Amino acid sequence: MDISEKFELIKRNTEEILEEGELKKILTKKKNPVVYCGYELSGPMHLGHFVTILKLKDFEKAGFKVKILLADVHSFLNRKGTEEEIKKEVENWRKTIKAIGLKAEIVLGSSFQFNKDYQLDVMRLAQKSTINRGLRSMQEIARDIKNATISQLLYPLMQVADIKHLGVDVAEGGLEQRKVHMIGKDLKDILKYDFVAVHTPLIASLKGPGHKMSRSIPGTGISVLDSSKTLAKTIKNAYCPERIIENNPILQIVKLIIFPEMNSFKISRSEKFGGNLEFSDYGELEKTYVSGSLHPLDLKNAVIEYLEKIISPIKKNWK
């Protein structure tokens, strides 16, 4: 795989890369660059997380060393559970990552975030960051942001310090991480460290506009450990308006999860409804859906089938 092919593999299904030129330099100059993504430990891995996991697999194919931060300290600061609850989730996530088969170095936040040099970097960043900017950066990721605690303002600064102290070239995350990463980009001279930020799109809530994907709200998302029955029920009840692409979580799942894992996408239906359909890329599927030639129920049935193919090995290997 040449530099151009590696770049295009990394770029597919991303929302933005800050900056593309710097990423190309990394690919050109470094034999084994490092990418990381961090995860809060508030419950099982869900399909939203799976988008970033699949992007890490792309990085791995492109020759990157992958680090996954299990953010136990961040989770505690963001009020995502007690210390005991978070410890249990650490083990659950270790099992899930192993079951997926990603060859990643798993790093626990508490293994380095109490070091003196790390804490000094957080303090230096705090001197140059306003409270308002800290609040803005946490709008998409904080629990109960209207009643934000001081601990939640430490969160984004620690996330920026993580990038330096993990020694990574690229920080990957969903688009909700953008404001946090921009603190790091803007304060690179204070941190004495620079990096490339790669952001993936977010899958909309399965309940539709006005909702957010949350494990505390049934039917808004799918865990990779959900039963086949739960998966099927959730998809069948999901928001999927006919001919509409915008904020359509079922189409987003096909684009961001199914096509990166599968070579084609087949929809089985009887001849009286037009017969079977098969797509080799997402663009073809989208055009067919917009034209009205593909009914939402037929699309959902195929999504259930393919998600089960992707998720069942994870459940089987989860020990």
pLDDT tens digits, one per residue of 10-47: 999 999 999 999 999 999 999 999 999 999 998 888 88
Verify that 193 and 235 share a domain, yes or no.
no
217 domain-assigned: no
Verify that 179 and 251 share a domain, yes or no.
no
For range 186-215, the mean pLDDT = 89
Residue 83: burial class (beta carbons within 10 Å; 0-12, 13-18, 19+): exposed
pLDDT tens digits, one per residue of 242-289: 999 999 999 999 999 999 999 899 999 988 888 999 999 999 999 999
Verify that 166 and 287 share a domain, yes or no.
no
pLDDT tens digits, one per residue of 142-197: 667 777 888 888 999 999 999 999 999 999 999 999 999 999 999 999 999 999 99
Number of domains composing the chain: 2
- Residues with Cβ within 8 Å of residue 203, at least 6 apart in sequence: 47, 48, 51, 213, 221, 249, 252, 253, 256
The percent of residues above 70 in pLDDT, for the chain, comes to 97
More confident residue, 4 or 220: 4
The pLDDT of residue 203 is: 92
101 domain-assigned: yes
Verify that 194 and 242 share a domain, yes or no.
no
Domain boundary among 149, 184, 200: 200
The pLDDT of residue 146 is: 77
218 domain-assigned: no
222 domain-assigned: no
219 domain-assigned: no
Domain CATH number, residue 126: 3.40.50.620
What residue numbers bound the domain in which 41 lies?
3-200
34 domain-assigned: yes
Verify that 192 and 236 share a domain, yes or no.
no
Verify that 74 and 139 share a domain, yes or no.
yes
Whole-structure pTM value: 0.92
The pLDDT of residue 274 is: 86
Verify that 236 and 158 share a domain, yes or no.
no
Verify that 51 and 159 share a domain, yes or no.
yes
205 domain-assigned: no
Verify that 233 and 188 share a domain, yes or no.
no
Within 10 A of 197 (CB to CB), how many other CB atoms are there?
A: 22
For residue 58, give Cα distances in angstroms to 9, 108, 232. Answer: 6, 23, 28
Beta carbons of 173 and 38 less than 8 angstroms apart: yes
Verify that 31 and 169 share a domain, yes or no.
yes
More confident residue, 71 or 99: 71
Verify that 280 and 153 share a domain, yes or no.
no
Verify that 175 and 304 share a domain, yes or no.
no
Domain CATH number, residue 268: 1.10.240.10
118 domain-assigned: yes
